[in-house]
A and B are shown apart, each in its own frame.
Chain A
Amino acid sequence: MIPLQLVSMLLVGAAALAVVVARDVLRQTLVNAIYWLALVLLFVVFQAPDVALSAVAVGCGAFPIVILLGLAKVRAREHGSRE
């Protein structure tokens, strides 16, 4: 295993831990996108560029956006019920 591979694996581990430690859902969504970015780095280092492209599009783009829309709906509803 070359050092870069080890570093990218440690980064993924650290980012995954950060997702679990972040308790606020909004913050967790953004930290999760960073976790996916670490995964993308891992895929590139392990010479899987196709998987890396999928991961960056889905993990850093599509998935956070869908979660954010859901969160916005929930907050709008909570806001509405307080009024």
Chain B
Amino acid sequence: MSRGIRLGIFAVGALGLALVLAWGVAGLPDFGHYPGPYGTVLNRVAVPERHASNVVAAVVFDYRGFDTLGEELILLAAVLGVALLLRSGKESKEERQPMASEAVRAVTARLVPVAFLFGLYTITFGPVTPGGGFQGGVLVGLSLVLLYLGVDLAAFRAVTPTPVVDLLEGGAAAAFVGMGLGSLAAGMAFLQNFLPLDKIGILTSPGSINLLNWAAGIEVASAFVLLFVELLNYLEAPE
């Protein structure tokens, strides 16, 4: 196919896309005018009902807790898939030279605890301020990966023994499902709150949202570490 014909086809396609896009954008509601009732209702009822000053956390772990269960299990399934495909049982034993210079190693070794703590903070205060199990979990996982990138492989392996991370991953996912089934068994709705609510704006205020939030945080952090460990073992494994 000659260049001219290809450009012609592209021009027709681009023009069509531009027209449809312009038509779609013209039909959008005005900027800043949200027409759906769902957000307005939640903004009004979430804090009085669930005592979570971060409405997002109330949505994620209560109003749409069942969706979150699906998201957790997607992550679990993804990590299981990677582990099933890549896990060979052998870790490379050879001692690799650290990739980073002395200065980078010294700075990173001191930054890792800070990043780890920030991840834990993001999980803990998720129901009160922006953050939560998913965001904080990735931060915790990343802070451990930083050990490999900035210090060395041995340090990373020392803090992430695979059997322990496996157990945390499966255990946290099971805990989330277990809390849902437990509330069903007690005659309540799936994932309904079963702990006393406290004054709005403090850590204990939203009841069992805290437990679900922590289950999500541990699950996401372990998933990310496992994903990295499996890819790393695959990378280091001799062909």
List residues of A whose CB falls within 8 A of some B CB: 1, 49-50, 52-54, 57-58, 61-62, 65-66, 69-70, 72-73, 76-77, 80
Contacts and interface: CB of A to CB of B under 8 A. Distances in A.
Contact of B224 (A50, A53, A62): A62
Interface stretch (B40-48, B131-139, B155-163): B131-139
B56 A61 contact: no
B231 A50 contact: no
Given A49-B130, A53-B130, A58 B138 contact: yes
Contact of A57 (B56, B142, B227, B239): B142
Given A65-B228, A66-B227, A50 B139 contact: no
Given A52-B130, A65-B145, A69-B232, 20 more contacts: A1-B31, A1-B32, A49-B130, A50-B54, A50-B131, A53-B135, A54-B135, A57-B135, A57-B138, A57-B142, A58-B138, A62-B142, A62-B224, A65-B142, A65-B228, A66-B228, A66-B231, A69-B231, A69-B235, A73-B234
B141 interface: yes
A57 B54 CA distance: 19
B122 interface: yes
Contacts of B145: 65
Interface SS of chain B: helix, strand, loop or mixed? helix
Interface of B: 31-32, 54, 56, 122, 130-132, 134-135, 138-139, 141-142, 145, 224, 227-228, 231-232, 234-235, 239
Tell me which of B130, B139, B227, B228 has the highest count of chain A C-beta atoms within 10 A of its own C-beta: B130
Contacts of A50: 54, 56, 130-132, 135
A76 B31 contact: no
Contacts, number: 47
B54 A61 contact: no
20 contacts: A50-B54, A50-B56, A50-B131, A53-B135, A54-B138, A57-B135, A57-B139, A61-B138, A61-B139, A62-B142, A62-B224, A65-B142, A65-B145, A66-B227, A66-B228, A66-B231, A73-B235, A76-B235, A77-B239, A80-B239
A73 B39 CA distance: 45
A43 B62 CA distance: 24
A38 B49 CA distance: 35
B53 to A, nearest CB: 13
A67 B162 CA distance: 22
Nearest to A44: B130
A62 B234 contact: no
A69 B234 CA distance: 9
A65 B56 CA distance: 28
Nearest to A73: B235
Contacts of A58: 138
A39 B227 CA distance: 25
A78 B160 CA distance: 30
